[in-house]
């Protein structure tokens, strides 16, 4: 009489159950975040100059579009009204060009 040891492979459904249990275990980790200090320590806010909290909030609420001009463009215009005047003139010229072509 001979005794043989056999190793049984787990059934496919058992493997799926084990994988599912592993996935559930990994997904249900407690995710707590430290909301007190989100900024990295490398950011030194004391070195920022001219910072004003809410500087443009009224313009934002009013629906005004803010556009940052490059330094060379800014040098050509003394204020926002001059920029608007130049853009309106450019729009008129472009409109006339389109009308001539049509």
- Residue 79 lies in domain: 69-102
Query: Per residue in 43-56, pLDDT tens?
Result: 777 777 777 788 88
The answer to the question of residue 85 being in a domain is yes
For residue 9, how many C-alpha atoms fall within 13 Å in the half-sphere facing its CB? 3
Query: Per residue in 86-99, pLDDT tens?
Result: 999 999 999 999 99
More confident residue, 4 or 46: 46
The answer to the question of residue 8 being in a domain is no
Number of domains the chain is built from: 1
Query: Per residue in 55-66, pLDDT tens?
Result: 888 877 887 777
- Mean pLDDT, residues 9-25: 63
The answer to the question of residue 6 being in a domain is no
pTM: predicted TM-score of the whole model, two decimal places? 0.39
The answer to the question of residue 82 being in a domain is yes
| Residues 48, 50, 73, 86, CA torsion sign | positive
Q: Where are the alpha helices (DSSP H) in the chain?
A: 12-27, 57-62, 71-76, 80-101
């Amino acid at each position: 009489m001979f005794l043989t040891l056999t190793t049984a492979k787990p059934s496919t459904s058992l493997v799926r159950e084990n994988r599912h249990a592993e996935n559930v275990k990994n997904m249900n980790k407690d995710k707590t975040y430290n909301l007190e200090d989100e900024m990295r320590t490398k950011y030194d806010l004391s070195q920022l100059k001219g910072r004003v909290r809410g500087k443009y909030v009224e313009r934002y609420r009013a629906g005004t579009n803010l556009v940052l001009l490059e330094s060379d463009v800014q040098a050509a215009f003394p204020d926002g009204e001059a920029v608007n005047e130049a853009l309106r003139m450019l729009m008129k010229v472009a409109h006339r060009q389109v009308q001539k072509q049509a």
